Structure 1
Amino acid sequence: MTVIQDEYVGQTITFHCEYDDKFKSHTKVFYRLKEGPVHVLNSSQSSQSSEEKIILSDSHEDQFTVTIRDISADDGGVYLCGVERYGSDPSITHISFIKEIQLNVYSRNASVQVQAYSSKSVFITCKFPQEFRRNKKFIQKDSSQKIIVDEQNQWVRHDKVHMYDDSSEGLLKVFISDLTAADEGTYRCGVNITDDDLFTDVKLTVNQVDHFRASSKASAVIGESVKLTCDFPEKHGETFKHICRENEQKICENISSSEQKRFEFSVSSAGVFTAIISNVSERDAGVYWCGAETRDTHLTSVSLTNQHQLTVTMPPVVGREGDSSEIKCPYNAKHSREVKHLCKGKCFTKDAQNIIRSNEVNKPRISAKDETELNLFTVTLSELRAEDAGIYWCAVRDEFNLHTELMIVMKDAVTREASVGGSVSISCQFFRNHMRFFCRGDQLNICVRDGVRVSSNKRTNGRFSVTDETSAGVFTVNITDLTEEDSGKYWCAEESSGSFIFTEVHLRVIGETTSSYTERETSQDKEKSETTSSYTERETSQDKEKSGSSMIVAVSVGLILLAVCLVLVLLKIKYNRKHGIGSSTPAQLPIIPSDGLLCTSVSFQKHEESLSDAALAFSNEEIHSDYTTVIYHIVPNSF
């Protein structure tokens, strides 16, 4: 068992440690945790000096007592009472601990320094002994009159100072917001007791200059995570990081222990840390403060430096023209029996349009159901139109409001195809003369958040540009120098106060692939080769025809000359016979170079490009393959 004991410096305290009757003759021991076995007392000792600080006394019946005299702040800690047990091995000591004691030692007049910052807030928690948890607490600034906290377990306000007397924990919480130089001073945080007051002096300093970032606004979608960035003085780098949420009285209270597991802290740089809230729910909406926490024996102080306004929304709902969509409204179990509202615009404001209530019958195109066992109010909108786009609010009375966006996608999509290096024009219809933009992304919320290329406010962006034809209700987006990476899904969008209307666009950019280019190149080469081959064949045929004609002419001339020569030879033979001239002694007559020359040398030379190597050769003595020589000796005649 564990016992908490609160005492003051200088007092004497006695612990009672009960044990089973079977241990009455056993040795009793007293230990202090974390400090080692500082006090090991043997109850079998016959006596102990009354001058010793720690005295152990055993009644040998059902308990032994431990007395600590003149306690100091250093005596605070955890102690253990126990008895020795006998084991089989006498060299080993076995101890059974029967009680744990948490000793808290307080000074009657403690003093703590607390630093805060102008226009920020500070949260101070004062601790008192448990025996005084029911006593009235007070705050006293400098020498002014005490401010008594008359009510327990609720916040009480006095000017700028808020106080909370936590009777279950024996704590007094003090919260001071919107700090100014006038708030500096010494605050006495105390408890009334019979003979005297027990208090801690809090010396508050308000720094007029800070370098912390201004208040910020953040938005989170239910089920997702959100990151809050916080500052703290670098000299407090070793202190605890702290985050709290304002309640309805705008007092920043600690996050409950059941929720703390969803909060994660990490230091990103010197003087800066982040608080990440995971699995966000509707109850996380509100104002948060974060800062550095400093702990003292009697007091914990938090200097709050950053304020964050966190808005929680439901995931956006996307509906297509002509189809149906559901808007789901979760609510707290405490509202299960109350009327739920769905409004276009924030409910209970003059501009809000009531869509349907949980206690109404269904309307044309609108139906609703309230599933109290699931704490869920669901509204179905059917036959969706462009004008249905907008922000819808779920509400229970005026204390619970949660909103979502209904985005409408038009039925007809736009498809375009273009070539690499070229350009394309994409025209989209708009319904109202509001801001228009063109973005890229498969998901609409990502497209709106991260994929905007051009808009009514930014008409050119690199290769993208937009023009309006207001009279025709059309805006046109031009994209130049297209690449294959430009292929994908785009959206033409129109937005007015959170009302989004989209037209889906599919762009396909076609490029010349290597294979098709090679095929065309091969085809061209083939055609070129066929052309060259045809040309060569025609050229060869012409050469053949030319060569053949030359050969025919040459042969014809040769044959004519041969015939003439043969006639001359026959005439010569006849002449010789008539005059009795023998052939054995031929006369060597000179050749007449002019009119006497009837037949001399005929040579048929081989043509280099001739298709045939054949040649005609006539000679009385020789036949040559390359040419033929015919020689006749002619005598002059009378004619």
Structure 2
Amino acid sequence: MRATITITIFFSLCMMSGQVLCFKVIGCSGGSVMINCMYKSDEQHNTKPLNKRKPSDQFKGKYFCRDRDCRTGISTETQHRWVYNERFALYDGENRGFFTVFIRKLSREDDRKYICGNNQEWSRDVDLKVNKNSSSCGTSVIRSAYKGQTITFSCEYEHKFETHTKVLYRVNGDPVFVLKISQSSQSSEEKFILSDNQRNHFTVTIRDISEEERGVYLCGVERDGGDTPPSETSVTHITFIKEIQLNVHRQISSVQVEAYISKSVFIKCKFPEEFKENQKFIQKDSSQEISVKQNQWIRHNKALVYDDTSSGVLKVFISDLTEADEGTYRCGVKTADDHLFIKITLKISQVDNFPESSESAAVIGESVKLSCNSPEKQQSIKHICKENEQKICQSISSSEKQRFEFSDSTAGVFTASISNVSLRDAGVYWCGAETRHQHLTSVSLTNKHQLTLTMPPVIGREGDSVQIKCPYDEKHTEEKCLRSRKCLSKEVKYLCKGKCFTEDAQIIIHSDEDHVKNPRISVKDDTELNLFTVTMTELRAEDAGKYWCAVKDVFNLPIELMIIRKDAVAHEASVGGSVSISCKHIRNQTQRFFCRGDQLNICFRDGVHVSSDNSRFSLTEETFTVKISDLRAEDSGKYWCAEESSGSFIFTEVQLNVTGGKTLLN
């Protein structure tokens, strides 16, 4: 019975003619609501302007409470400033005819009757209804933007509010204030653009965002106690359905990076020391931020990214560049209340004078030169790097840099030299130009080199013995395998004639073979020295060729075995005469030449060949006969007949003695 009496009294008060003593407010569970509590009726209908009236109720303390002792709600005597009490806020402004109450994070427990008034002298009954019927009810999202960026977000509403006034509020600590009220597009010159296309949502666009735009925004509709658009005399409120938290990230710097079609680029973003262990992220254009795993390379579309927490650097590597890779990238770090980022404008240019790739071979222990292109720009540093197993071109370690030197040759071209080449140097290299800024280092990689290694040629004489030494990387030793748990036993080492593990390869021996089966060949695998040694005895001419040392199918090192025939040839002739030298040979060999040099390796690399432009020398390939005419005293010396066999050479030593008399031997 008591509940019935209360409702009856509430109804009768609401129906008192000419007075608005109660009104209904509808909120959304999870959303917010803004209510204007009107002053008592005689003040509302006073015909004098508010600023001409005598001090009245509007200057007395205001309250919005669930019960008389105001344990739930808010009250204040303060004017012209928002006052807060947990989820409740109240603002009493001068000469407005009402005070404003704002309630955030509504729940079903807020579905009650409230009283708003002036120190018990006058009051309005407020029936607050909290609904949870709409799919968009109480939606809360977080959006991120960058300084200078334009961002657009949508505010959904139910179809029945299509013709209602739409509202966007911003909660900026103190106070809560209205930003725009719109039912049509605003001028494109304004900072904020609201557009209601009457398709169950309106859009908000913020142009040229600055740090001042960060904060919480509320989307809502103006309404009264019903669902139809309020009339001019209705007591209205605003139901906020959606909350958008807008984060505006701070830009540390902006850098333009130039790279080239089909080439690669390596970018390193440096952040303040205090954030080196914070979460990093990468973003291209307006796509979603991608968080980067710490101390691990991950792929994000075309880019490979790595958060190096030890140095506070975010690394970005992009290979096989195309025009689609051009755009704006942001590499950033997440802080407690903000994001810091570096804006990178990546420009991809087309060039025709950069070679696609090149291959170079280097002899272990010697030096090799790699030719590199570099854009002719100031403040660029010559750079070389080596690909790892993930095909990421990482900088040469500081301990190795002393073996790498740069020298200029012509405009836009320089040479990178590697001295004292060793096994670890085999692989793919890139070189190019490095540009350094305060917070960013970029390397535009323009030249790709595949560097293969060979051992110095091994030279043996027919009938003698020779040792072929095969060094291998320490990762193939038993101890290393056990430590890395990549294998359980020592890996087998191979020596093959021809590249191991190919169809035409001939396996000569492997480290676990029973050597008795091949008495001319023995093997020793010294895992402490990482050296696999094969001894070949009773050498024959046909043993000449290119051999390969191999471990599994991941390591192949070529070694050339050259054979010198046991029998040497001697010729004596006179100055002005001629001599014909018949070289012993194996049939069907494709390449033959005749050269001069005291040492075989000098003759092979730098000696004067018959094929040179020298009309006094001639060679008949069918019989492998060399004729030298118009002899001179300085023609005396050591020569070599050479023929190719299985990728290497068989040599016959020739000693020519030219005297001042007539020819004795012809």
Task: Give me the TM-score of the superposition, normalised by structure 1.
Answer: 0.60
Other-structure match for 1:438: 594
Deviation per residue, 1:410-460 (Å, 9 max, x gap):
1111111111121111111221312211122233333233325235xx8x7
The alignment status of 1:502 with 2:651, answered yes or no, reads yes
Q: Deviations over 1:84-119 (max 9, x none)?
A: xxxxxxxxxxxxxxxxxxxxxx97341001111111
Which amino acid in structure 2 is aligned with residue 449 of structure 1? R
**Equivalent residue runs for 1:290-369 within 5 Å:** 290-337=431-478, 338-362=491-515, 363-369=518-524
Within 5 A, what are the aligned runs for 1:226-625?
Answer: 226-236=368-378, 238-337=379-478, 338-362=491-515, 363-434=518-589, 435-451=591-607, 453-454=609-610, 461-469=614-622, 474-511=623-660
Query: Matched residues in 1 for 2:599 and 2:289: separation?
Result: 61
In the alignment, what sits opposite 1:145? 288
Superposed CA offset, 1:212-238 (max 9, x none): 3442221111111112221211123x4
Pick the aligned partner of 1:110 from 228, 253, 262.
253
Q: For the residues of structure 2 that align with 1:487 and 1:164, how far apart are their CA atoms?
A: 65
CA shift for structure 1 position 389: 0.8
Shift of 1:147: 2.6
* Offset of residue 512 of structure 1: 6.1
Equivalent position to 1:165, from 295, 299, 307: 307
Deviation for aligned residue 1:256? 1.1
Amino acid at match of 1:163: V
Amino acid across the alignment from 1:377:
F
**Corresponding residue for residue 269 of structure 2:** 126
Classify the secondary structure of the residue corresponding to 1:108.
strand
- Please tell me the residue identity of whatever aligns with 2:625: T
User: Residue 461 of structure 2 aligns to which amino acid in structure 1?
Assistant: R
Cα-to-partner distance string for 1:470-507 (whole Å, 9 max, x where unaligned): xxxx3101111111222221111111452211111111
* Contact 1:117–1:210, Cα closer than 8 Å, also in 2: no
Q: State the Cα deviation string for residues 262-291 of structure 1 (Å, max 9, x = none).
A: 112222333222222111101101111111
Counterpart in 2 of 1:516?
none
CA contact (8 A) 1:123 1:304 kept: yes
Return the letter of the residue paired with 1:504.
E
Q: CA deviation at 1:210?
A: 4.2
For 1:283 and 1:496, how far apart are their aligned partners in 2?
30
What secondary structure does 2:583 align onto?
strand
Residue 356 of structure 2 corresponds to residue 217 of structure 1:
no
Which residue does 1:176 correspond to in 2? 318
Task: Read off the aligned partner of 1:266 and give its amino acid letter.
Answer: S
**Alpha-carbon offset, residue 186 of structure 1:** 1.1
More strand by share: 2
Q: SS of the residue aligned with 1:261?
A: helix
Counterpart Cα distance in 2 of 1:119 and 1:333: 35
Give CA deviations for 1:34-85 in whole Å, capped at 9, x if unaligned.
xxxxxxxxxxxxxxxxxxxxxxxxxxxxxxxxxxxxxxxxxxxxxxxxxxxx
Q: CA deviation at 1:466?
A: 1.0
Classify the secondary structure of the residue corresponding to 1:327. strand
Equivalent position of 2:83 in the other structure: none
Alpha-carbon separation, structure 1, partners of 2:410 and 2:564: 43
* Shift in CA distance, 443/215, structure 1 to aligned 2, threshold 3 Å: farther
Distance 1:512 1:452 in 2: 26
Moved more, 212-221 or 197-206: 212-221
Matched-pair contact (CA < 8 Å) for 1:138–1:189: yes
CA distance in 1, matches of 2:572, 2:411: 52
How far residue 373 of structure 1 moved from its aligned partner, in angstroms, is 2.1
Contact residue 386 and residue 501 of structure 1 kept, 8 A: yes
| Cα RMSD (Å) | 2.0
Give the 3-state SS of the residue equivalent to 2:609 in structure 1. Answer: strand
TM-score where L is the length of structure 2: 0.58
SS at match of 1:454: coil
**Matches of 2:597 and 2:281 in 1, distance apart?**
61
Give 1:508 shift: 1.4
Amino acid at match of 2:631: L
Cα deviation, residue 134, structure 1: 2.5
Equivalents in 2 of 1:326, 1:488: separation in Å? 29
* Number of residue-to-residue matches in the alignment: 399
Structure 1, unaligned runs of 5 or more = 1-105, 514-639
Runs of 4+ in structure 1 off by over 4 angstroms are none
- Aligned partners of 1:323 and 1:384 also within 8 Å: yes
Q: Distance in 2 between matches of 1:316 and 1:200?
A: 53
Alignment deviations for residues 583-628 of structure 1 (CA, whole Å, 9 cap, x no partner): xxxxxxxxxxxxxxxxxxxxxxxxxxxxxxxxxxxxxxxxxxxxxx
Structure 2 residue identity aligned to 1:108? Q
1:295-339 CA-to-partner distances (Å, cap 9, x unmatched) read: 001100011111111111111000100000000011222322232
The separation in 2 between residues aligned to 1:107 and 1:480, in whole angstroms, is 84
Matched residue of 2:624: which SS? strand
Consecutive unaligned residues of structure 2, counting only runs of 5 or more, are: 1-248, 479-490
Q: Is the 8 A contact 1:453 1:464 kept in 2?
A: no
Identity %: 72
Partner of 1:588: none
